[in-house]
Structure 1
């Protein structure tokens, strides 16, 4: 059977540069591309060699998204959970939901647009 992997997720944000700065510092990712979208708006792609997050915006993107409609959260793994939490807080965001159960320690945070992220360490 063929195996696949997630190549990217495209999310709407009100300020892609601000979101890109957070993901770059939090995950050690790099900007892969930026430019206009095909119809309207613009995107910044932040990621690694084989995967990325497309941070999309346009005049119609207002933020204030409701949790679970349709996205529950996006999760990232990190080597140092304490350092990751410090970076999130330094960006003015509030970590919550700290827990430690298999397969690892974790916390959550909402970004400026109400998008929920989970950060996990398997170390």
Structure 2
């Protein structure tokens, strides 16, 4: 059996606010939320099998440099959807900054940035 990605863990400015937009945009639910092991607060939002752990440590946060130019930085998160146009409308309704749109094999996709500057790719495989 091939390995399966279970979750990714991101530091965000406000886990509850991030979960609040992820739920309607991606159709996800909160799997767990509470105090993080090392302090701070975490929310796990996703499906029964996969999720994004969104974390806010205690204390001040430092803005991250542009990811594509730095080693060990996340460049973007890709999410597969069945209705690209509906998700794009939901993203626009959240007021997010839209990025590029592409249509090439094996699917159509667009990119957007959340309020913390995290880039998301949304793709539909036809």
Q: TM-score, normalised by structure 1?
A: 0.91
- Check if 1:118 corresponds to 2:102: no
The 2-side partners of 1:40 and 1:51 are apart by: 23
Aligned residues: 122
1:66, distance to aligned residue in structure 2 (A): 2.2
Contact 1:9 1:53 in 2 (8 A): yes
Report the equivalent of 1:109: 112
Report the equivalent of 2:60: 60
Point out the more displaced range, 60-69 or 94-103.
60-69
1:65, distance to aligned residue in structure 2 (A): 4.8
Structure 2 residue ranges without an equivalent (≥5): none
1:95, distance to aligned residue in structure 2 (A): 1.7
**1:1-123, aligned counterparts within 5 Å?**
2-58=1-57, 59-63=59-63, 65-68=65-68, 69=70, 70-123=73-126
1:94, distance to aligned residue in structure 2 (A): 1.9
Alpha-carbon displacement from aligned partner over 1:15-56 (angstroms, at most 9, x marks no partner): 111211221111111100000111111100001111100010
Runs of 4+ in 1 over 6 A off after TM superposition: none
Q: TM-score, normalised by structure 2?
A: 0.89
The 3-state SS of whatever aligns with 1:100 is strand
Structure ranking higher on relative contact order (CA contacts 8 Å, 6+ apart): 1
Structure 1 residue ranges without an equivalent (≥5): none
